[in-house]
Structure 1
Amino acid sequence: MPVGVLCAVQGAAEAALVQAVEGDGRLAVTRRCADVVELLAAAEAGLGRLALVSAELDGLDRDAVAALHHAGLRVVCVADQDRPWLTDRLAACGADLVVPPPGDPGAARDVVGRAGALLDAPDRVPDRVTGPVAPARRGRLVAVWGPTGAPGRTTLAVNLAAEIAALGRSSLLVDADTYGGAVAQVIGLLDEAPGIAAAARAAAAGTLDVAALARLAPVASQGLRVLTGIARADRWPELPATALDALWAVARSLVDLTVVDTGFGLERDEVLSYDTRAPQRNAATLSALAAADVVVAVGAGDPVGVARLVRGLADLADLGLEGARLVVVNRLRAAATGPDPHRAVADALARYAGIGEVLVVPDDRAACDAALLAGRTLRECAPGGPARKAIAALAARLATLVPAR
C-alpha cells in the first residue's frame, strides 16, 4: 500500500512534485493542503507519513514541525537556495530535509526520492538541544523550583546566579515563572519588555542563536546576564515548551551556567494532551525542569513550608527527571521549627520524603529586605550575612559542574 504524502507546496513546484510522487510506486498524495492548519489536521488524522512543505508557508515554525513529528511524519521543506538563512531557519525548526525547488521533472523525481529515503531511516528521536548554532561548549542548567507559598525561589535563583558569576563562571539568570515573574524588579532592572518572550518568539521562528540571545539578555554585572520574565500571568501562552527547549540549548552555548527561576506548578493539562499545539499552563516550568542538569528544590523553613515541600518532592519525583536534585530549606529559624531547626527539618524530610541531605539557608530578614529595597543582591548588600554565606556555599558546589575558564 502506498505511503501517504501531504503536500503543502506553493507555486509552480507543487505540480511537479505531485506528479513525481504519483510516479513513485511507493508514495501517493493523500491531501493537498492550502495552509498549516489544514496540514496539521490531515497529519493528526493519520493521512500521511511524509509532508512536503513550502518554506514560506504561513505559520510554519518550530511548534508546527514538532506537531508533524509527533503525528509520525517526516518533514521535507522546499526552500530557495539563494536564501541560505532560510535553510538554516528551517533546520533549526527541526525539518528533516531542506531541498531546492525542482526546476524540471528529473529534479522533482530526485527530491521525491530523497524524501522517500527518509521513511527507511530510523525513527526520528526529538532532539531537545536542536539549535541554529552548534554549541562550541555545553554549559549547565540549574532550575530553581519550589512549591506554592513563596518559599524564596526568586531570592535563591537571583543570588545563586550572582554568586556563580563572582566565582568566575559566566551565568545567565532566566525568569521562567509564568505566574508573576519578579526577577527584573528584584535586581533593579528596567523591564520594558520581557526578554524571555522575545527569545521564545525567535526560537519558535528558528532565528534564535547565541548572538540573538546575548542581545536579549543584558549584562547586569560582570559575568551575569539576565533574561527577564513576564510579570502578567495572562501572558503564559507566549512561552511554549518547544520554543523554550531550543532556548535552553542556546543558553548552554552562551554561558557556563544558566539559572532558571521557575513557577510552582507541575501539573499537566491531561485534557489537552492529545493536542500537541495547545499551550500548557505550566509548560515553562516543566520544560526547564526536564532540561536541568540540577534541580534545586526549595521550601520554606516552617511547618507549613516543610509539609508543602514533602508533597512537592513527591510530585517532582513523578516527573521522572534525569537531573540531580538538591533540597534547600530557606528562611530557617528556631522560632518556627524549635531549638535545633536544622535537625528538625532534616529529620522530617528524611522520614517523610526520603531525603538524605538537606541544605539550609538561615533566616536573615533584615539583609533580604535591604537587598530588595536597593534592588541588589545579598553579596552586595550583606556580604557577611548568614543567608549570603549559605547561598555562596551552594553556588560554589554548583560551580563545580563547569570548569573555570
Structure 2
Amino acid sequence: MGKTIAIWGPAGSPGRTTLSINIAATLASYGKKVILIDLDTFGGVVSIYLGLDDQKSGLAAICYRADSRSFTPEDLLNIAIKVPIRGGLFYFLSGIAHHSRWPEINQPSLLRVIGSAKTAFDYVVMDLSFALDSVGQDTRGRLNYTLMGSGDFLVMVGRGDPIGICRFIRAWPEVPKAQNGRSLSIIPVINMVRHTAVGSRPTKQLREVICEYTSFQQVWQIDFDQQVCDALLLRGKTIVDCMQSSSVAMQIASIARVLQ
C-alpha cells in the first residue's frame, strides 16, 4: 500500500506547489512510482508550472468516473498525465483552474480515488490549498482536514520571515486536530529563508523560535533563490531536470529522504 504526502501551509506560505512538484519528481527519480494530485480547490496551478493545458481537469474527470461502480485503479492510470523527468517519470492528475469548479469535486468520490491511488502507486503527493476548517461539513477547508488526517505525512510549509513564522505558529494548534488519533508524521518546512529577513544565523534562529512554540524538534528549510525558481518556471521543468547542484535541490532532496 502506498503512502500519501499532503503539502499544506497557512495563507501566505509560498512554495507549496513548487515543493509538491519537486518532492514528487525527486521521489520518482529514486525509482518510486509517484502520482501528484493538484488539490488546490481555489484554483490549482501545477499544470501551468509544468507547461501543460490547465483547462482540462483530470481531478474532476476521475471524480466523475469514481461515481461509477466500475471504477478501477486502471482508470486513474489512463486519465493521469505522464510527466517525464531525467531518469524516469511521475504521474500527474490536474486540478481545477478556477474555484467555481469546486462543486465538481465530490468528497466521497475523491477519497475513493485516493484510496485507489494508494494501491497503484508508492507515493501519492497532494498539493493542498491554504484553507483549514474543522467545523464545516462540505467546505474546502474541511476537505483539507480530511485529506491531512487520512494521510501518512504532512509537509507543513511556512515563509521564512517574521510574518510567515507568526502565521505558521498560529496555524500549528489546528494541525494536530486533523489526526483523529492516527499516526501522522508532520514535517515542518520553512521556505524562502534569507538572512536579510531573519538575521545573520537564519537556520539557528528559525529552529529556536519554531521549536519553542510548537512540538517540533527539527525544522527543514529551503533557501530563497529566485534564479533557481525562475529557471524552473520558465522551462516548465523540475529540480531533477535542471539546477541539480543548487542548495535548493539538495534541501528538497533532504526532505524527500525523510518521506521514504
TM-score scaled by length of structure 2: 0.93
Q: Which runs of 4+ in 1 moved over 4 A?
A: none
Once the two structures are TM-superposed, the CA of residue 231 in structure 1 deviates from its matched residue by: 1.1
What secondary structure is seen at the aligned counterpart in 2 of 1:248? Answer: helix
Cα distance in structure 2, aligned partners of 1:200 and 1:269: 24
What secondary structure is seen at the aligned counterpart in 2 of 1:292? Answer: coil
What secondary structure is seen at the aligned counterpart in 2 of 1:329? Answer: strand
Residue 374 (1) aligns with residue 235 (2):
yes
> 1:300-347 CA distances to partner (integer Å, 9 max, x unpaired)?
111111111111111112223522111111111101110000111111
Residue 384 (1) aligns with residue 250 (2):
no
Match of 2:217 among 356, 364, 367: 356
Once the two structures are TM-superposed, the CA of residue 269 in structure 1 deviates from its matched residue by: 4.9
Residue 152 (1) aligns with residue 32 (2):
no
Letter in 2 for 1:205: S
1:331 aligns with: 192
Query: 1:40-119 to 2 correspondence within 5 Å?
Result: none
1:299 aligns with: 158
Once the two structures are TM-superposed, the CA of residue 386 in structure 1 deviates from its matched residue by: 0.7
What secondary structure is seen at the aligned counterpart in 2 of 1:215? Answer: helix
Once the two structures are TM-superposed, the CA of residue 178 in structure 1 deviates from its matched residue by: 0.5
Once the two structures are TM-superposed, the CA of residue 266 in structure 1 deviates from its matched residue by: 0.9
Unmatched tracts of structure 2, length 5 or more = none
Unmatched tracts of structure 1, length 5 or more = 1-137, 274-278, 400-405
Query: 1:12-27 to 2 correspondence within 5 Å?
Result: none
Q: Is the contact between residue 132 and residue 140 of structure 2 (CA under 8 Å) also seen in structure 1?
A: no
The higher relative CO (CA closer than 8 Å, separation ≥ 6) is in 2
What secondary structure is seen at the aligned counterpart in 2 of 1:181? Answer: coil
Query: 1:179-328 to 2 correspondence within 5 Å?
Result: 179-221=42-84, 222-270=88-136, 273=137, 279-321=138-180, 322=182, 323-328=184-189
Aligned length: 255
What secondary structure is seen at the aligned counterpart in 2 of 1:366? Answer: helix
Once the two structures are TM-superposed, the CA of residue 353 in structure 1 deviates from its matched residue by: 1.7
Q: Is the contact between residue 368 and residue 378 of structure 1 (CA under 8 Å) also seen in structure 2?
A: no
Q: Is the contact between residue 241 and residue 287 of structure 1 (CA under 8 Å) also seen in structure 2?
A: no
Which range moves more in the overlay, 383-392 or 373-382?
373-382
Q: Is the contact between residue 60 and residue 104 of structure 2 (CA under 8 Å) also seen in structure 1?
A: yes
> 1:192-213 CA distances to partner (integer Å, 9 max, x unpaired)?
4111111111122333311100
Identity rate, percent: 31
Larger radius of gyration: 1
1:178 and 1:264, CA in 2 relative to 1: closer, same or farther beyond 3 A?
Answer: same
